[in-house]
Amino acid sequence: MTSLDPTLFEKARSALNYSYSPYSRFPVSCCIKTTTGKYYTGVNIENAAYPLSLCSEAVAISHMVKEGEKKISEIFIIGLGEALCTPCGACRQRIREFADDDTLIHIGDDKGHRATFTLGELLPHSFGPHNLEQSHD
Ligand code: THU
């Protein structure tokens, strides 16, 4: 396996400073690398109306898509604390839309890399664009 691109961690680590998480006090950031070699970062953005809060992965995916990019090669997610900050269920599905079962999801904290999973490990037997490829009309 090729070694982890250090730029992914560096970009996610600098983005962590911009997390807006006054309610949970749980900053999360991430950096997506696309198959074309571009990087898109995201941070969680909370709201006083709690359910309106955005996860860091949703923010990064928004940036990626609005720049015309649609294929995630790897993603590095940073969250603090003892437990690994793996993506929430909704974000696994968001990532799935633009990734494959073998897409790498790296998890770390502000000190560095802690673990790597494939999307297939985190979201097995997923529902995705392939389910809608055939028209049924
Ligand atoms: N959070 C993320 O940004 N990504 C995840 O995948 C897990 C959770 C954020 C949402 C909320 O602002 C804070 O972490 C605590 O749940």
What are the tens digits of pLDDT across the range 74-100? 999 999 999 999 999 999 999 999 999
Distance in Å, CA 45 to ligand 1 centroid = 9
Contacts of 29 (CB under 8 A, 6+ apart): 12, 13, 15, 16, 18, 19, 41, 42, 43, 44, 56, 77, 78
Contacts of 91 (CB under 8 A, 6+ apart): 55, 57, 58
Q: In whole angstroms, give the CA distance from residue 125 to residue 49.
A: 33
What would the pLDDT profile of 48-72 be if each residue is shown by its tens digit? 999 999 999 999 999 999 999 999 9
Kindly list the domain boundaries of the chain, sorted by start residue: 6-135
The pTM of the full predicted model, rounded to 2 decimals, is: 0.96
6-135 domain in CATH 3.40.140.10? yes
Closest CA to 39 of 14, 75, 13, 4: 75
Write down the pLDDT at residue 134.
77
What residues flank ligand 1, with Cβ below 6 Å? 21, 24, 26, 28, 44, 46, 53, 55-57, 87-88, 91
* Whether 22 contacts 28, CB under 8 Å: no
CA 119, distance to chain mean position in Å, is: 10
Q: How confident is the model at residue 1 (pLDDT cuts 50, 70, 90)?
A: low
Portion of the chain with pLDDT greater than 90, in percent: 95
Residue 69 falls in the annotated catalytic set: no
* Active-site residue, selected from the candidate residues 57, 69, 82, 133: 57
Residue 2: what pLDDT? 67
- What number is the average pLDDT over the span 129-133? 95
Interval 103-120: pLDDT, tens? 999 999 999 999 999 999
Structure tokens at 87: 């993506």
